[in-house]
Structure 1
Amino acid sequence: MTDPFSKCRLPEEFEALAAAGVYPFYLPVEERPGGGEVVVRGRRVLMAGSNDYLALSDDPRLKEAGERALRRLGAGNSGSRALNGTLALHQGLEEELAIFLDHEAAMVVSTGYQANLALNALFGPGDVLLADRHAHASLIDAARLGQAQLRRYRHNDMGQLAELLEAVEPESGAIVLTEGMFSVGGDLCDLPGVAKLAARHGARVVMDSAHDAGLLGAGGRGAAEHHGLQSAVDVQSVTFSKCFGTLGGAVAGPRHVIDYLRHSSRAALFSASLPPACTAAALTALGIIRGEPERRRAVLSAAERLRSGLVALGFAIPAGGTPTVSLRMGDALTCCRFWAGLLEEGVLANVMLPPAVPGRAALIRLSVTAAHTGGQVDRILAAVAAVAARVAPIKD
């Protein structure tokens, strides 16, 4: 009999990365002094990999709200939402989120990943699910857990999406599954194209707004509002671990759909509810997102400075203007050497390797937040330039 644990080996290239002293994952942050900086290996460095776009995770108002909820309601709820784990605080956050996102109702869960997994209950045996090839792993996991036929279309390729929609049998339901702002490259969904095709074929649109809710649009509602197409999105998932600066997630949509998910989604039914401190912090963050648009302006200004600076260095950066950008490195070892070089220069970035990216791609992902000053963005650019001169990455 074969040992079922025999498959539990890291890829050989990971061993090579460790041997070369450039293994980039699970690096512990020792302190978070704020101001766009963290302490790793005893050094204070610029954080250029965080998705805390509005720099709210360190905001005193979130900390105070979380502390008050912790003292009043405890560290956890010890139960699922369906049974004994629902707080009035959860319901208050759901009501405010539904208003903010312009949907009838919302359901709060414990993580953004869980919010997307909860969507699987929508994907029935008579449905066809059409997912962008760059859709987040949590969306694909939800698709695999559901019973719908999964078909993938090339990233933002409206021609192929049109072909796939035309091939859906009349008796089948069709759902287009996409992200608003894609997590790796920071580019936006072609929502105008998706909405037009969905309307033509009677398909529903489900969008993951993990990275864009709180960041884009006049009111911060996300990529759909940015495109002027909020009403074109039938169901929208969000996470609180990016712009909201804490932990948790939610699904918003028509009331009957959300009520159905509350009683049908195993990810929501059989998981303990979001702790009080995170719930209170998310509710406070929502108020700040609504009331302080200057935070969005600050991070988007930093993003433009970063992107234009990278273009000036010779990197091919796609249009988009969002705070996240990825640099192609060619292979894993080159990528991790580049990452290590940036860390030596005082900049902590992210390495993106399979399965986080398709094929054998190797990327350095950079991101900026509202906490980064112009001078700090210039320090990131100077570090990239210095390391590029030594490592010579692929730039096109």
Structure 2
Amino acid sequence: MTLSSPLAPPVDNPLAEAGLCTQYRAVRRLSETLCQPLEMDDYGVQAMADVSPPKWHLAHTSWFFETFLLRPYQSSYQEFHPGYGYLFNSYYEAVGDRHPRPQRGLLSRPTVGEVYQYRAHVDAAMTTLLQSQGDHPAVRSLTALGLHHEQQHQELLLTDLKYNLAINPLRPAYRQDVAVAACACASALEFVEFPSGLYNIGHQAAGFAFDNEGPTHPVYLQDFALANRLVTNGEYLEFIADQGYQTAAHWLAEGWAMVQSAGWQAPLYWEQRDGQWWIFTLGGLQPVNLMEPVCHLSYFEADAFATWRGCRLPTEAEWEVAASAVPTQGNLLAADHLHPQPASGSQPLQQLYGDVWEWTQSAYLPYPGFRPAPGAVGEYNGKFMCNQMVLRGGSCVTPPGHIRPSYRNFFPPSARWQFSGLRLAREF
């Protein structure tokens, strides 16, 4: 994130040729479109501390534009409500106090209608700002950051909603028209080799990037090989059948402790009924498709499976080197599957973008020379560089134009509610 640089749309962004106001309206509209299937009662549910209610996501993304653009750059701006800054600040210490995250689901007010009024108020003011000061470098850069921030929350809205619906014994669907993939044969698991050498990683192309994606820097990699596709449900069932969750030797110590304390026996959202495995999806409960990528794994589960297979997880540098020559296309949100799909095609490396976020063995740490941006927006990424692992590649609910080879997602190693899976790696 470079606050002084002008907005340049990211790679493969369908809005790349659109003006800034058009981009703004399209991203904001998509957030509201994603909420159209919801019932009013869905907007306020928070089933665990790590997820947020849909209503909060809609308001927080508006708060971001209000706080970082409208207040400092539009002198005539009138805030919608004096208490919203406290309610909808997420983690920005420099901005002020905030409502506790685990209590977001306890807020019956503001109402859903008031939150949509808040969004309309912010949108009108942002349109005025972009029309009058859209060429201001900081306004353009912060607007780009705000749009990508909202795209992150579009993905979080769906992942959080899935968790909220899954804890309901009725297993209700977000949408009834989410298609079930055909159970076709997966391509054989093969490994694509990459020679040792000095490679540059980090954001290098023109366009937007978050600050944690740089600076570009060289890394030396030994010979390595990546699997041509993601690990499937069928392959993960073999791990379960081989007592993978009962064999301590496969697991890191902290992961084994989680298995014991949390009672993990399968990926999140899997359940057995009458001897058959089922998985909860955004389309409701479905039989496990053996050919789909396994999903909703923690880092610990991904690492244990790789160990069981005599392999390992890739480093984030290895993943980026392999992905840099592959188009940023795949089963992303625009495909509207809202669920991982079986591998298809004949490309040497498949499913690098979309389907599931791929755990790497890399801890989330700053790149050499990393410096957070000045001011409150510098809290966006840098202060989380501890006790997190890096994931790459996006998922089936990642908005198009929001993923690139250098994108670094990060979560604690025990997190399972994200669309996270794995690709095997090894030496050769």
Question: TM-score interval w.r.t. the shorter chain?
Answer: under 0.3
Q: Tell me which of the two structures has the higher relative contact order, counting C-alpha pairs closer than 8 angstroms and 6 or more residues apart.
A: 1
Name whichever structure is richer in helix by fraction: 1
Name whichever structure is richer in strand by fraction: 1
TM-score in terms of structure 2 length: 0.23
TM-score in terms of structure 1 length: 0.25
